[in-house]
Structure 1
Amino acid sequence: MTVELILAQADLTEFTVRPLGGGTYNSVFRVTSPEGDFVLKVAPSDQPGLTYERNLMRTEAMFCRLGHAVAPVPEVVHSDFSRALVNSDALLTTWLPGRPLFGRDDVDRPLVRRQLGQAVAALHEVTGPGFGYPQLGLHPTWTSAFVAMFDAVKADAQRFGVVLPCVPLNLSVFDEVERPALVHFDLWDGNVLTDTGLTGFVDGERAFWGDPVAEFVSLALFGSIESDRDFLTSYGFEFTDSARVRLAAYQAYLYSIMLVERVPRGSSDPAMESLITDALSRALDVLA
């Protein structure tokens, strides 16, 4: 009933709806109607989560509205954050063609990575009004924003009984970041869509305003972006020692999140936990 109410509010009179798998936070549906094909996301109303997991749908709507102008990002068709009709935030966007890059061996991966480099570089040209997660309040500097982001994860770890290693941060390297770029921060292969080439990227609810280098973590999840010359050449990025230190800090941040979120999500896969902890250890070696 919830889905039907939302779609009626979006002025869709005839439609078929089917659940889409792959989401770890929102309920996601494929909507087919005479008006076109769409994706409907409905936020959980009472799911316990991490500190930054507040009003994520609103952040995704912001990401789509800004990103759609410069990159292959879904277009917002309808949103309802009033919670008057249903007790959740809802977002309806256009459907992008293609299938996730994850696990694919039937695509020209170097071509896709080059196209992705160009698209991500364009996305990072979008500049925000401050640093950090928009749903939590922005900071005047990237250093203060990132410290607050990491402190929140540490507090979440304590709340959920997760022991995290100490992560040393050299704050001076973050002071080098002077422009708040739009960062997706979840561009692993599962969120990159392809056909014969890149068709788009999705799931921008974890976006923030910050250092573009942070994007390189999920773009090479559990690996090293420096081995992806197709992407980096197309993007137009050359690493410095300072950028490598910042990247390691962002890796430590994301892998800390992934360890903590396992508790509220009820995940108990030991192989995945080992993968995360090994990647976190490699990042800590750079920061030591």
Structure 2
Amino acid sequence: MHFESITRPDGAFQQPLTAEQVVAVCRRGFGRAPVSAVELGGGSFNTTYRVDLGGLAAILRVAPAWSYRIERGFMRHEHAALPFFAPIADLMPRMLFVDFTRDLVPRDYTFQTVLGGLPGAEGFRALADKPGFFRRLGEIVRTVHGVRGERFGRPAGPLFAAWSEAVLSIVDDTVADIHDAGLDSADVREVAALAAKNAAVLDEISEPRLLHGDLWVPNVRLDGERIVGVFDHDRAMWGDPAADWSIFEAGRRPGTDRDAFWDTYGRPADSRHAAWRSALYRAVHLGAVRIERHRLGLAEKIPASYEQMAGVLTELR
């Protein structure tokens, strides 16, 4: 077997499998050893390989050996949510094999089909019609948000009867993660207190909707002007559409091509309570960004999260 692995420093969060482990998981899933396995860059959480199984190409995705609370079980959440993405199934990779037993390797892993097109960031740079891209993205996100659920929270659990309970669970985990990372969590503790105080405002959201959790430029594939692939929904959850990462990103740079997103998605509600919830969701995202930057060793970018959180807290108080 031809095997290529990315060299990373000792202690790096992403860790490769050995060639022998890749052979073992391929034999379990497909009954044969691969011709080649090449590790792919670009992601920052799972370890990913393009595997040639002799007439069948597949993407092997391997979960990390450890993760923070707000990132635990991502691959299991992704798998549990997959049936609910049926309205955009033609854009998503097909699941070929899943193994969460952890007996061959002490990590979850899946095999998926290979999506066509170019990585979103690469294809986006070449686009002549960037507003057209954002209009199409708005359509896709609106379709996802049209899927109704029964309870709030992560697809593989825990699930909650009230939206406030799901949000408070995430914020409490974020506080614990930031503390465990050796960072100051005082601002996120205040976010948690404000969320608890205003639970009734959160519980105006009474119908769970499907959220992709990370649907933006990096997690699509492009063929010219067309979006031909959508992937990495491991942050999926049932909740308020306004809390989705797509909405956070669409609103980050008003007055740019991103504004075209709202042409097809529709403008968000502008009531006082909707504005408060939107600010709270920004705070939740900033907490997650802080954890991710710490995990990736981007210490120089962590202070910005405190500055941005301070601004959001003035809206929440």
Matches within 5 A, 1:277-288: 277-288=306-317
Instruction: Please name the residue that 2:68 is paired with.
Output: 50
Q: 2:59 aligns with which of 36, 39, 42?
A: 39
Instruction: Please name the residue that 1:84 is paired with.
Output: 103
Q: Secondary structure at the match of 1:28?
A: strand
Q: 2:93·2:231 contact (CA, 8 Å) conserved in 1?
A: yes
Q: 2:249 aligns with which of 216, 220, 231?
A: 220
Are residues 1:256 and 2:287 paired? yes
Q: 1:64·1:74 contact (CA, 8 Å) conserved in 2?
A: no
Going from structure 1 to structure 2, the CA distance change for 1:150 and 1:36 (only over 3 Å counts) comes to same
**Greater mean alpha carbon deviation, residues 53-62 or residues 214-223:** 214-223
Q: Secondary structure at the match of 2:210?
A: strand
* Cα distance per residue 1:38-64 (max 9 Å; x no partner): 22111123x2x2213222211112233
Matches within 5 A, 1:16-165: 16-45=36-65, 47=66, 49-71=67-89, 72-102=91-121, 104-107=124-127, 108-164=129-185, 165=187
Instruction: Please name the residue that 2:277 is paired with.
Output: 246
What amino acid maps onto 2:71 in structure 1?
A: E
Give the Å deviation of 1:274. 4.3
Asked which structure has the greater CA Rg, the reply is: 2
| Inter-partner Cα distance in structure 2 for 1:76 and 1:52 | 24
| Inter-partner Cα distance in structure 1 for 2:309 and 2:217 | 19
Are residues 1:174 and 2:195 paired? no
Are residues 1:8 and 2:8 paired? no
Give the Å deviation of 1:239. 2.6
Q: 1:132·1:145 contact (CA, 8 Å) conserved in 2?
A: yes
TM-score by length of 1: 0.87
TM-score by length of 2: 0.80
**Greater mean alpha carbon deviation, residues 28-37 or residues 242-251:** 28-37
Going from structure 1 to structure 2, the CA distance change for 1:238 and 1:216 (only over 3 Å counts) comes to same
Q: Secondary structure at the match of 1:18?
A: strand
Give the Å deviation of 1:145. 0.9
**Greater mean alpha carbon deviation, residues 276-285 or residues 129-138:** 276-285
Unaligned runs of 5+ in 1: none
Going from structure 1 to structure 2, the CA distance change for 1:68 and 1:4 (only over 3 Å counts) comes to farther
Q: Secondary structure at the match of 1:179?
A: coil
Q: 1:217·1:225 contact (CA, 8 Å) conserved in 2?
A: no
* Cα distance per residue 1:209-268 (max 9 Å; x no partner): 1111111456517824796332122123433233332222111111112213444x2513
| Inter-partner Cα distance in structure 1 for 2:86 and 2:35 | 25
Q: Secondary structure at the match of 2:136?
A: helix
Q: Secondary structure at the match of 1:39?
A: strand
Q: 1:222·1:275 contact (CA, 8 Å) conserved in 2?
A: no
Tell me the number of residue pairs that the alignment of Structure 1 and Structure 2 aligns: 284
Going from structure 1 to structure 2, the CA distance change for 1:74 and 1:284 (only over 3 Å counts) comes to farther
| Inter-partner Cα distance in structure 2 for 1:91 and 1:238 | 36
